[in-house]
C-alpha cells in the first residue's frame, strides 16, 4: 500500500466523513460541512442556520440526507449545486430502515423498522404517514442486502465495519484495518501509523474509490487525545 495524499486538520472536531461522486464531505465542527476534492482541497463550504450533530446519512442520487434527529431535523444537500433544505422532525422518533426516491409529490419516502412508510418533501418542510405495512417481498430484499458481507473473513480481530467495492473489501475497527483484493487474493494489514500509539489515534471512517482502474482508500483518522485534530489520508492499494 502506498500513501499518495495526506492532510492534517486542526481546530475542527471532525467525526463525519463521506466520499461521493468524487467529492469528500466532512463536518465543519458543529456549524456546517466542508466539501473537498480528492486532493483534499476545499471546493465549497456550507454553513447552516442551525447547529448540526450528524447521527448518520443516506445517499439518494445526487442528494445526501443528514440525520440530525438529536436536534430534531434532517438536512438534504444537493451535492451538485450545494443547495440544501432543512426538514423539521420534532415528533419523528421512528427507527429508519431505509430512505429512497419517491415518484409522488413527496420527493422521498422513509421506511421504518416497524414497516411504516412516510413521505417527506424538504422544499415544503412536510412529512406525512402513508402506510402502516410494507410489502413482504421488499422486506426480504432488504434483509438479504444487509447480510451480503457475511461470507467474508478477516485476519484482524472483530472488524466493526465492512465495506466493499468491486474486487476490494475492507474490514476495520478503531485500531486495525485489513484490505482484501479478491481478484488476486492479496491481503494487506496495517495499523494507524507505526509511530503512533493506538491509545491516541483511531480509524474513524474509511471509503473505497476506484479511479482510472486503480483502487484507493480514503481514511479519516482522529486524535483521541485532542478531538480537534484529525488526518485525511489516501492510499493506493
User: What pLDDT digit, counting tens, does each position of 146-194 carry?
Assistant: 333 445 677 777 788 888 888 888 888 888 888 887 776 555 654 443 3
Using pLDDT thresholds of 50, 70 and 90, give the confidence band for residue 137: very low
**Could you tell me which residues come within 8 angstroms of residue 119 by beta carbon, excluding any fewer than 6 positions away?**
102, 104, 105, 106, 108, 109, 110, 127, 128, 130
**Could you tell me which residues come within 8 angstroms of residue 82 by beta carbon, excluding any fewer than 6 positions away?**
35, 44, 46
CB 108 within 8 A of CB 95: no
Q: Which helix (DSSP H) or strand (DSSP E) does residue 177 occupy?
A: strand 176-181
Give the rounded percent of residues in the chain with a pLDDT score beyond 70.
81
Does position 17 have pLDDT exceeding 90, yes or no? yes
Decide: helix, strand or coil at residue 142.
helix
Pairing of strands 17-20, 23-28: antiparallel
User: What pLDDT digit, counting tens, does each position of 46-104 carry?
Assistant: 999 888 999 999 998 889 999 998 888 889 999 999 999 888 887 788 888 888 887 76
Mean pLDDT of the chain: 81
Decide: helix, strand or coil at residue 144.
helix
Model's pTM, two decimal places? Answer: 0.81
Amino acid at each position: 500500500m502506498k500513501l499518495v495524499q495526506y492532510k492534517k486538520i486542526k481546530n475542527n472536531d471532525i467525526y463525519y466523513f463521506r466520499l461521493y461522486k468524487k467529492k469528500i464531505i466532512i463536518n465543519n465542527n458543529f456549524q456546517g460541512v466542508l466539501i473537498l476534492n480528492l486532493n483534499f482541497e476545499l471546493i465549497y463550504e456550507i454553513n447552516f442556520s442551525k447547529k448540526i450533530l450528524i447521527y448518520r446519512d443516506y445517499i439518494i442520487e445526487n442528494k445526501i440526507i443528514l440525520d440530525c434527529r438529536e436536534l430534531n431535523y434532517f438536512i438534504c444537500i444537493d451535492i451538485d449545486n450545494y443547495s440544501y433544505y432543512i426538514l423539521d422532525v420534532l415528533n419523528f422518533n421512528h427507527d429508519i430502515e431505509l430512505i429512497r426516491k419517491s415518484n409522488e409529490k413527496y420527493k422521498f419516502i422513509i421506511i421504518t423498522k416497524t414497516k411504516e412508510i412516510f413521505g417527506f418533501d424538504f422544499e415544503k418542510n412536510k412529512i406525512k404517514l402513508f402506510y402502516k405495512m410494507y410489502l413482504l417481498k421488499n422486506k426480504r430484499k432488504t434483509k438479504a442486502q444487509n447480510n451480503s458481507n457475511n461470507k467474508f473473513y478477516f485476519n484482524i480481530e472483530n472488524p466493526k465495519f465492512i465495506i466493499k467495492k468491486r474486487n476490494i473489501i475492507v474490514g476495520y475497527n478503531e485500531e486495525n484495518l485489513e484490505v482484501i483484493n479478491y481478484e488476486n487474493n492479496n491481503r494487506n494489514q496495517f495499523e494507524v501509523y507505526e509511530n503512533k500509539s493506538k491509545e491516541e489515534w483511531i480509524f474513524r471512517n474509511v471509503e473505497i474509490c476506484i479511479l482510472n482502474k486503480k483502487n484507493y482508500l480514503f481514511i479519516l483518522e482522529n486524535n483521541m487525545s485532542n478531538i480537534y485534530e484529525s488526518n485525511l489520508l489516501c492510499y493506493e492499494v
